[in-house]
Amino acid sequence: MERRRVTQEVADAAAQGDRSENAEYIYGKKRLREIDRRVRFLTRRLEALTVVEPRDRGDDKVWFGAWVSVEDEHGETAEYQVVGPDEFDPKARRISMDSPMGRALLGKQLGDEVLVRRPRGDAYLTITGVRYHA
């Protein structure tokens, strides 16, 4: 949608004459290159991705797609879903499997204590729940 609009703007600017001093034309061509670069990047990412459906394995272990309930050393509780690096959303409590917390949780099971190395300091968390449905 945006590419179509920018292409039309570039065509309109080109119709005005001298392109070497036409700011709209120069900016439009630059924006088209940025859009095309982003499309190429996303196309390569899509080709490399694999869709994985979270499924309950019945062993209370944390794998990709799991909702994990944790309790910290102060008794504070939280729940997060372990997702791929392109899906993380802190507001929705979705953490990347490549994040420090995601790496610490993967492969652990209910009752395990994990050490999460964070920029603001280490945290010890106890896994209090593992589920695979929303």
Q: Give tens-digit pLDDT for 17-57.
A: 777 778 888 888 899 999 999 999 989 988 887 776 666 66
Q: Residue 112, Cα to own-chain centre: how many angstroms? A: 26
- Within a domain: 80: yes
Q: How confident is the model at residue 16 (pLDDT cuts 50, 70, 90)?
A: confident
Could you give the number of structural domains in the chain?
A: 2
- 58-99 pLDDT, tens digit per residue, is 668 999 889 999 999 999 999 999 998 888 999 999 999 999
**Same domain, yes or no: 40 and 77:** no
Nearest residue to 31 via CA among 3, 11, 57: 3
- Residue 73 domain boundaries: 67-131
Question: 70 forms bridges with which residues in the sheet?
Answer: 78, 127
What sign does the CA torsion over 23, 25, 30, 35 have? positive
> pTM of this prediction?
0.65
Strand ranges, E, within the chain = 67-72, 77-83, 94-96, 113-116, 123-131
